[in-house]
Amino acid sequence: MVVLGALLILGIVLDRIGLLNPAEGGVFRVFEPVQSAFVGIGQGVSDLVQTARDLRDLRQRNQQLVELVNQLAVENVRLKEVEAENEILRRLLDFAQSSPGHTFKAAEVRTRVIGRQPDNISQFILIAAGSNDGIQAGMPVVTERGLVGRVETVYPTLSKVRLIIDTSSAVSALVQRTRATGVVKGQPGGELVLDYLPQGQDVVAVGDVVLTSGAGGGFPRQLVIGQVIEIRQKDYEMFQQAVLRPTVDFDRLEVVLIITNFVPLSLEGLEPAPGTAGP
Amino acid sequence: MSPWYYLLVPALILLGIAQSTLVPFLRIAGLYPDLILILVAIWSLLRGYREGTIWALVCGLVMDMLSGLPFGAHTLALLAVSLLMQAVRRQVYRLTFGAVLLLVALATLIYYGAVMFATWAMAGESFSGNLLGRVILPAALLNAAVAAVVFWPLRWFHQMTGEQEMGW
């Protein structure tokens, strides 16, 4: 017990001074085969159970997916016409072709989801790609459906990704139809809310698609986040909110892509321009 | 300490990994059971200070490795739960089955409160939204329900491997 207590204290100290990564990286080399085996078992059992459920819900789900695909197809055409110069979103949405505008780390084996947050109050995943694969902290993570999250911590062969449905996540976003901007925040239970939307009648409507705006430099522009399913508006409040259904199914993430040539904007170290008043 | 314990430590490590890889597939209404928390709480009630603390430390360290929260948050939270269960164990000679389930639900509240406090204290991160109503209270009910199943094999294991310290 003394040894374990010492390990705990050592781990906390190393984490605080930023030296825990090498130790964790070494441990993960041992854990990874076990994790992969457990995930394989879990996915197999889950698939069996899910098949039984899907027999009951298959028709309804299929109809919803057909509608969503049609909607996304129409949106894709609009984006290609209106946003022709925007190489990022067009290539992310067109996964059948290669994408020279962004570099994706997209080998299936290397970016499998091999673990999830072991509690219910935060939303992280472990992916099987790390610094050995060129992954760096801050890189956005996506699927063909849309934005998943951002790389938070990197090890040699693994990375931890904070999902956008985490309550600490905030993504600058805009409503595709009206270009109204806001911030998408994760909520308890995996919900997404687009907050700080200006009040007004036609700012947002149910069915609107929400994309990243690129404001703040945290994520590339025009990555699909979700679709509005509910609007929360009160006349006495300064802003209105929209509840989103994420286009990504976070419960069934198996393979993700990492945008490796996007560098998040950092304001640290910037100084005021000469002649301007300081804070 | 019993010799079987040296086999149990690797098993606890595997359980910690399973919490991150297998247990999320057992999602119910968007939540999954905190299997490690349930095991630590019940074992601390059954076996007391030393073994409950060791279970909390081993499983907590593994969970911290696999978690995106600051290192130590889960371990400290599990230790808090183990200490609470041990305090109850010292005060009460005999616990009913229903009381055990209630204690597991209470342990869930303590656990998540401790995780959030540790995360805030170590990294300055806070959690927004109605976590209590939407996550923690439902998780407490879910954990109590799972504990109703887990308790019996754990109790059998306790009776097979240790002295009878707690009256049931």
| Token duo for residue B8 | 């149990």
In whole angstroms, give the CA distance from residue B15 to residue B74. 14
Q: Which residues of B touch A35 (CB under 8 A)?
A: 17, 20-21
pLDDT at A268: 54
In whole angstroms, give the CA distance from residue A271 to residue A102. 30
| B112 has a chain A CB within 8 A of its CB | yes
Biggest alpha carbon distance in chain B?
Answer: 47
Question: Buried b vs exposed e over B101-122: b needs ≥16 C-beta within 10 Å?
Answer: bebbbbbbbbbbebbbebbeeb
**CATH superfamily assigned to domain A109-163:** Rod shape-determining protein MreC, domain 1 (2.40.10.340)
Adjacency order of strands within the sheet including A257-259: A104-105, A257-259, A140-143, A146-154, A159-163, A124-127, A113-116
Domain ranges of chain A: 2-49, 109-163, 170-252
Indicate yes or no: CB of B61 within 8 angstroms of CB of A8. yes
pLDDT at A174: 92
pLDDT at A118: 78
| B6 has a chain A CB within 8 A of its CB | no
Decide: helix, strand or coil at residue A276. Answer: coil
Other C-beta atoms closer than 10 Å to the C-beta of A181 total 15
Q: From the list A20, A28, A34, which residue is nearest B71 (CB)?
A: A20
| Token duo for residue B14 | 């595997």
In whole angstroms, give the CA distance from residue A202 to residue A231. 11
pLDDT at A109: 28
Percent pLDDT > 90 in chain A is 22
In whole angstroms, give the CA distance from residue B121 to residue B85. 24
Q: Phi-psi bin for A275: left (phi > 0), alpha (psi -120 to 50), beta?
A: left
Mean pLDDT calculated for residue range B151-167: 75
Q: Residue A115 is inside which H or E element, if any?
A: strand A113-116
Q: Which residue of B has its CA nearest to A2?
A: B54
pLDDT at A180: 93
In whole angstroms, give the CA distance from residue A230 to residue A193. 9
Fold match between A109-163 and A170-252? yes
Would the pTM count as exceeding 0.80? no
Architecture of domain A170-252: Beta Barrel (2.40)
Q: How confident is the model at residue B89 (pLDDT cuts 50, 70, 90)?
A: confident
| A118 has a chain B CB within 8 A of its CB | yes
| Token duo for residue B156 | 């059998």
- From the CA of B13, how many Å to the nearest CA of chain A? 10
pLDDT at A175: 93
For residue B157, is pLDDT > 60? yes
Q: Which residue of A has its CA nearest to B115?
A: A121
pLDDT at A98: 47
In whole angstroms, give the CA distance from residue A166 to residue A125. 11
Closest CA to B157 of B49, B2, B13: B2
Q: How confident is the model at residue B167 (pLDDT cuts 50, 70, 90)?
A: very low
pLDDT at A97: 52
CA-based torsion, A250, A227, B134, A53: positive or negative:
negative
| B48 has a chain A CB within 8 A of its CB | no
For residue B150, is pLDDT > 80? yes
Best B6, B14, B21 residue to mutate vs chain A (most A CBs within 10 Å): B21
Indicate yes or no: CB of B72 within 8 angstroms of CB of A122. no
In whole angstroms, give the CA distance from residue A34 to residue A175. 42
pLDDT at A171: 94
| A251 has a chain B CB within 8 A of its CB | yes
pLDDT at A172: 95
pLDDT at A85: 45
Mean pLDDT calculated for residue range B104-109: 94
| A5 has a chain B CB within 8 A of its CB | yes
For residue B59, is pLDDT > 60? yes
Give pLDDT < 70 ranges for chain A.
Answer: 74, 77-113, 266-279
